[in-house]
């Protein structure tokens, strides 16, 4: 068990958070989060107004639950046991500092093909053109790890050159050894992906671990209180 914990700490420095960053993240996510708009086609996408963090993952990965846990809201993003229900890009303004963007869940076997084509085009357009997009959190169920269902999304992210980061979800369902194994496997797989950030976040929306660390990481992308948004939104940062 000690070995598993060592592996986890070694591979995942974000689990050990700097207290200043943690405080920045805590304050940011204590601000009011509100739904701003949903877009089911490219023409309905909001204009960039704030730095954006997008959340992607297969249906039922725990995306709504994670957004709710991050923002401390029970029902900011709708959680459901019916996979594949959210079919639009949803924008949530976090305290006028950061836009949280909920991308449609993918990999729902029963989704009609025309629907899949529609949202793939929407997503591709969003990823390619969004200058305000700072990072995509790609959520992966810790019980499965990255699977072939995630590959098209990872390829799309690599091709768009959007920096993305794996967030393992539902870690409360695994023991430390199992978690260390899946985390190691995930880290090894990421090495082959150009746009993937090497750090992995391990989270449980239900039990809390990893939420503060993820808030701290995302806090570094938010506007500072005095910063005018037009300056920050010029061009995509590295």
Rg (CA), the chain: 17
At closest approach, how far in Å is the CB of 89 from ligand GDP? 14
> Which residue, 211 or 216, has its beta carbon nearer to ligand GDP?
211
For β-strands 89-94 and 33-39, DSSP reports them as antiparallel
Residues 54 and 68: their CA atoms lie apart, in Å, by 14
Q: What tokens does 43 get?
A: 């023409």
Answer for which of 14, 25, 51, 105 binds ligand GDP (CB under 6 A) is 105
Residues 203 and 17: their CA atoms lie apart, in Å, by 14
Residues 52 and 97: their CA atoms lie apart, in Å, by 9
Residue span 163-202 as binding mask against ligand GDP, x where in contact by CB under 6 A, dash where not? ------xx-xx-----------------------------
Nearest CA-CA partner of 231 in 50, 22, 74, 17: 50
> Which residue, 12 or 24, has its beta carbon nearer to ligand GDP?
12
Answer for which of 4, 23, 39, 79 binds ligand GDP (CB under 6 A) is 79
Residues 202 and 143: their CA atoms lie apart, in Å, by 12
At closest approach, how far in Å is the CB of 82 from ligand GDP? 8
Question: By CB under 6 A, is residue 74 in contact with ligand GDP?
Answer: no
At closest approach, how far in Å is the CB of 208 from ligand GDP? 9
Answer for which of 8, 56, 65, 157 binds ligand GDP (CB under 6 A) is 65
- Helix 63-71 with 211-219: angle, nearest 10 deg: 70
Q: Choose the stretch contacting ligand GDP; rule: CB under 6 A; options: 125-133, 182-190, 204-212, 225-233.
A: 204-212
Residues 77 and 144: their CA atoms lie apart, in Å, by 23
Binding footprint of ligand GDP, residue count (CB under 6 A): 20
Residues that bind ligand GDP (CB under 6 A): 57, 59-65, 79-81, 83, 105, 169-170, 172-173, 204-206
């Amino acid at each position: 068990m000690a070995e598993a914990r060592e592996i986890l700490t070694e591979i995942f420095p974000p689990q050990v958070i700097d207290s200043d960053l943690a405080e920045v993240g805590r304050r940011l996510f204590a601000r009011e989060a509100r739904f701003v708009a949903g877009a089911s086609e490219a023409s309905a996408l909001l204009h960039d107004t704030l730095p954006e963090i997008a959340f992607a993952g297969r249906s039922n990965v725990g995306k709504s639950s994670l957004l709710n846990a991050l923002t401390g809201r029970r029902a900011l993003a709708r959680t459901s046991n019916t996979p594949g229900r959210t079919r639009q890009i949803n924008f949530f303004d976090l305290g006028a500092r950061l836009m949280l963007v909920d991308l449609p869940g993918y990999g729902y076997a029963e989704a009609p093909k025309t629907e899949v084509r529609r949202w793939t085009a929407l997503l591709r357009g969003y990823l390619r053109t969004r200058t305000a997009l700072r990072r995509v959190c790609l959520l992966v169920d810790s019980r499965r790890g990255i699977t072939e269902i995630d590959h098209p999304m990872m390829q799309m992210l690599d091709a768009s050159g959007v920096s993305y980061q794996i967030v393992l979800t539902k870690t409360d369902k695994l023991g430390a050894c199992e978690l260390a194994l899946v985390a190691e496997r995930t880290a090894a797989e990421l090495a082959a992906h150009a746009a993937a950030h090497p750090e992995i976040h391990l989270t449980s929306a239900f039990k809390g671990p990893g939420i503060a660390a993820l808030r701290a990481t995302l806090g570094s992308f938010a506007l500072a209180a005095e910063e005018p948004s037009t300056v920050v939104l010029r061009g995509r940062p590295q």
